[in-house]
Structure 1
Amino acid sequence: MAEEGNIELVVVDRHGEAHELEAPTDMNMNLMEVCKAYELPVKGTCGGMALCSTCHCYVLSNTELPEMGEDEEDMLDQAFFVEDNSRLGCQLQMTPALNGLRVQLAPEADD
C-alpha cells in the first residue's frame, strides 16, 4: 500500500519485467521523471517538453488519463512503434487519478 500522498503504478520495461513503483503526487513529477528516479531506461532527452519521444510508452491499464495535448500528438505522429495506447511519459503528471496506472516502455528506434 502506498504512503499517503503517493500513488502506485507498474512500469513494464523493454525486457518484459514489471516494476512496481510508488510516486509522489505532491512534487509535480511526471511519469518520465518517476522512471528516471527509479533508474529505468527512459532518456527524456528533451527534459519533458514533448519535443522527443524517448519517454514513449504504452498504457496497459484502463486508467482515465488527461486528454492528449497538441504537442504530444504532434510528437507521437513522428515517433516509431506508435500504437493506439501510446503516450509520452513526460506528459503524464502524477496525480491521485493515476493510481494503479500500468504502462510498458516502447521499444527504442535504435533497438
Structure 2
Amino acid sequence: DDELGINAFVAGYRSIDMVLVVTWGMLQTLDRYELQGLIAHEFSHIHHGDTQLNLRLVAWVGGLLSVSQVGSWIAQAGFSLQRHVQRDRQADAIFIAAGGLVWLVGSLGVLMARLVKFAIL
C-alpha cells in the first residue's frame, strides 16, 4: 500500500494460479485509460504464457550456471592441489583440463540461454 513507484507484474505458473499485482503509486498516478492499457498488457502475459516461459528460462540458466561453477571449482581444486602437494603433475593437469572444459560448457550454455532470453524479451 505504501509503494509509490509505478509498477505492475504477473506472477504464477499456470493461468488459474496467476496473480496480477499493481502498486499503489500506479493506482494514484495513472488515469483510467492508462491503467486499462497497462492491465491489458499484463493480461496478455497471462494469455500468452510468458511467465511459464520465463520460469523455464530461469531454471535453465540456473542449472547451466551451476555446471559452470562446478567446473570452475574443479579447475581451482586442481590448481590448489598442484601448488600444495607434490604429486603426479599429469593427473593434476587432467583435473584442471576437465574442470576447465566443464566450466566452458556451462559458461557457453549460460551465454546462449541469456541470448535466447533477450531474443524473447
TM-score category of the 2 structures, normalised to the smaller one:
under 0.3
TM-score when normalising by structure 2: 0.20
Relative contact order (C-alpha < 8 Å, sep 6+): which is higher? Answer: 1
The structure having more radius of gyration, on CA atoms, is 2
- Higher share of residues assigned helix: 2
